[in-house]
Amino acid sequence: MSEKFKAVVIDNQNEKFTREIKEIDISHLKDGNVLVKIDYSSLNFKDAMILKDGGRIVRKFPFVPGIDFSGTVVESQDDKFKKDDKVILTGFRVGEAYFGGFAQYAKVDANFLIKIPKSLDTHKSMMLGTAGFTALLCSFAVKAKEELLLGEKVKDVLVTGATGGVGSIAIMILSKMGYDVHAVTGKKDKNDYLKDLGAKNIIDRKEFEGESKLLEKGVWDGVVDTVGGASLTKILAQTKPGGIVALPGNAGGIKINTNCMPFVIRGVKLWGIDSSGSSIKRREFIWNEAAKLIDFSKVQLFTKELSLTELLDAYPKLLKGELFGRTIVNPNK
């Protein structure tokens, strides 16, 4: 099949980093055994770092970024997929080591794909994208306290980075699960938005700055911490006995500083979340639950749709914390 298609191509020649929309031939897609015509991709924190300068993640250039996409199978050399299947891809180092979703076509390994559940479509699945998938993984980690570990009922759940992609969708899911969600934000003008998503209470990010005791009064049954860094010290010290802290992110820093007490005195569990390496079985479970827990008409209100050209203007805003909500990318726009 010889056909040209549009893609964002990043390059790093002679120490000059560039990003352009280019036409490339399908024959240049060498990895994988399933060719997908992409309907949508989405802009995530990691994509923005890669679009800026490769983010010390992409090692081979020229390269097509985009860590997630949804679309339709065009050709498959694997029995699991056939022409016209609707599929989702998130992670598995696509958009990092293998050509990704900021393009009209991608070719990937069949073991990286799942079929879109009947309750979703290509648009809805990228309204969630990696951020929504991660928010679902985090929310089920918190729910495991009562369901898997047979602990006490979850009541109060803290969500940090509340106005971000992962945080916003986690608020929606956790409130739908019936929990009281306490949203931590640095943005004073977003209270109505967070309440509308289902947050019961809004807390200023500053409350988690400064010194923490080894243990503080336990207030959180569960936490979804998308920020990490210094504030995690106080969060762990404030988690109730048996509480679960799901940690997907590091928007506020990579280093954490804690002590043994929350773990050995209260049995607090720190549950690392890696959406990229999740098993196919877990992906199928999570994506099948999505439609029960997500109000897509609400997500639509904070979702923007951009063309590939508009994407190249928008990604710096995400890095500066100026873009809020979800951004889906339509390569055919």
When asked if residue 251 is in the footprint of ligand NAP (CB under 6 A), the reply is: yes
When asked if residue 132 is in the footprint of ligand NAP (CB under 6 A), the reply is: no
Place of tokens 């209260």: 266
Residue 147 makes CB contacts below 8 A (sequence gap 6+) with none
The contact mask relative to ligand NAP for 286-305 (x = CB under 6 A, - = no) is --------------------
- Name the pairing type of β-strands 34-42 and 68-76: antiparallel
- Cβ nearer to ligand NAP, comparing 99 with 302: 302
CB 107 within 8 A of CB 93: no
Q: Which one-letter amino acid corresponds to residue 255?
A: K
Stretch that binds ligand NAP, among 11-19, 77-85, 269-277, 301-309 (CB under 6 A): 269-277
When asked if residue 106 is in the footprint of ligand NAP (CB under 6 A), the reply is: no
Evaluated on CA atoms 307, 193, 168, 160, the torsion sign reads positive
Stretch that binds ligand NAP, among 9-17, 74-82, 93-101, 183-191 (CB under 6 A): 183-191
When asked if residue 139 is in the footprint of ligand NAP (CB under 6 A), the reply is: no
Stretch that binds ligand NAP, among 68-76, 127-135, 139-147, 306-314 (CB under 6 A): 127-135
- Cβ nearer to ligand NAP, comparing 79 with 189: 189
Stretch that binds ligand NAP, among 31-39, 107-115, 158-166, 299-307 (CB under 6 A): 158-166
For the CB of residue 273, give the shortest distance to ligand NAP in the complex, in Å.
5
Q: Which of residues 26-65 bind ligand NAP (CB under 6 A)?
A: 44-46
Q: How many degrees, rounded to 5, is the angle at CA 199 between CA 195 and CA 201?
A: 95
Stretch that binds ligand NAP, among 25-33, 142-150, 217-225, 272-280 (CB under 6 A): 272-280
Which residue number is nearest to ligand NAP in terms of Cβ? 164
- Cβ nearer to ligand NAP, comparing 222 with 252: 252
Among 125, 233, 275, 303, binds ligand NAP (CB under 6 A): 275
Cis peptide upstream of residue 62 (ω within 30 degrees of 0): yes
CB 199 within 8 A of CB 158: no
Residue 25 makes CB contacts below 8 A (sequence gap 6+) with 2, 3, 4, 5
- Cβ nearer to ligand NAP, comparing 117 with 186: 186
When asked if residue 159 is in the footprint of ligand NAP (CB under 6 A), the reply is: no
When asked if residue 187 is in the footprint of ligand NAP (CB under 6 A), the reply is: yes
When asked if residue 273 is in the footprint of ligand NAP (CB under 6 A), the reply is: yes
Outline where the chain has alpha helix (H): 45-53, 122-147, 165-176, 191-197, 231-237, 261-264, 280-293, 296-301, 308-319
Helix, strand or coil for residue 1? coil
- Cβ nearer to ligand NAP, comparing 73 with 306: 306
Helix, strand or coil for residue 250? coil
Neighbouring C-beta atoms of residue 38, cutoff 10 Å: 27
Residue 100 makes CB contacts below 8 A (sequence gap 6+) with 41, 64, 65, 66, 67, 68, 69, 94, 106
When asked if residue 95 is in the footprint of ligand NAP (CB under 6 A), the reply is: no
**Residues of this chain that bind ligand NAP (CB under 6 A):** 44-46, 130-131, 134, 161-167, 185-187, 205, 226-227, 248-252, 273-276, 318, 321
